[in-house]
Amino acid sequence: MSEPRLHPDGVTRCPWPGDDPFYIAYHDQEWGVPEYDDRALFEKLILDGFQAGLSWITILRKRDNFRRAFDGFDPEKIARYGDDKVQALMNDVGIVRNRAKIVGTITSARSYLDIMAHGPGFSALLWDFVGGTPQINHFKTTTSVPASTPLSAQVSKELTRRGFKFVGPTIVYAFMQATGLVNDHLVDCVCHQRCAALNRPRPSPR
């Protein structure tokens, strides 16, 4: 069983970042922290889609390249991409060059814009699945943490219905963990309580 690890700095963490300072920083500062910003949620969902078949650290190390290549993950710009831009992205060695995922990102950007224009808003849509408040789990080992859940399947089905691509239940659950919709830091990890302390209802739209 993979249990929390006591690191040389005296902090007990989930085991998955290992000893990689870059990965540890992501674990400590981002993973599981509730995210409410529409565009930031869109970016993370897209990156999780690119992760499919790869390790997350691979995507994380390329994240700045992805942000540059995809215009800061501005959905309005991405939605207007044409064939020339797709080919330019396919030639960009700094990102994952998968045509289906690149084209899927364009389709997902258009779906995002539709939700923002005619629906509840992207953040509101997602957070409503957990009643506006992060779901706190109490897993003791990583082997206890599921790859997907009935809830992630529901979110996946709704996103697919709305036209998003590469949003299967496993991808969606990884996204939910990363953006704090669920708190899956192991109970003995220092970040479990940190993130639980951020457990507050989603801010009401201004």
| Whole-angstrom distance, CA of residue 155 vs CA of residue 148 | 11
Residue 189 is labelled as binding a ligand: yes
**What is the structure's pLDDT at 205?**
55
| Whole-angstrom distance, CA of residue 180 vs CA of residue 74 | 22
Residue 27 is labelled as binding a ligand: yes
**What is the structure's pLDDT at 206?**
45
Q: Which alpha helices (H) appear in 30-140, and where do they start and end?
A: 38-51, 56-61, 63-69, 75-78, 83-90, 99-118, 122-127
Structural domains of the chain, ranges and CATH numbers in brackets: 5-196 (1.10.340.30)
Quick check: helix, strand or coil at residue 131?
Answer: coil
Cross-strand partners of 13: 5
Positions of the chain with pLDDT under 70:
1, 200-206
Cross-strand partners of 12: 6
pTM here is 0.95
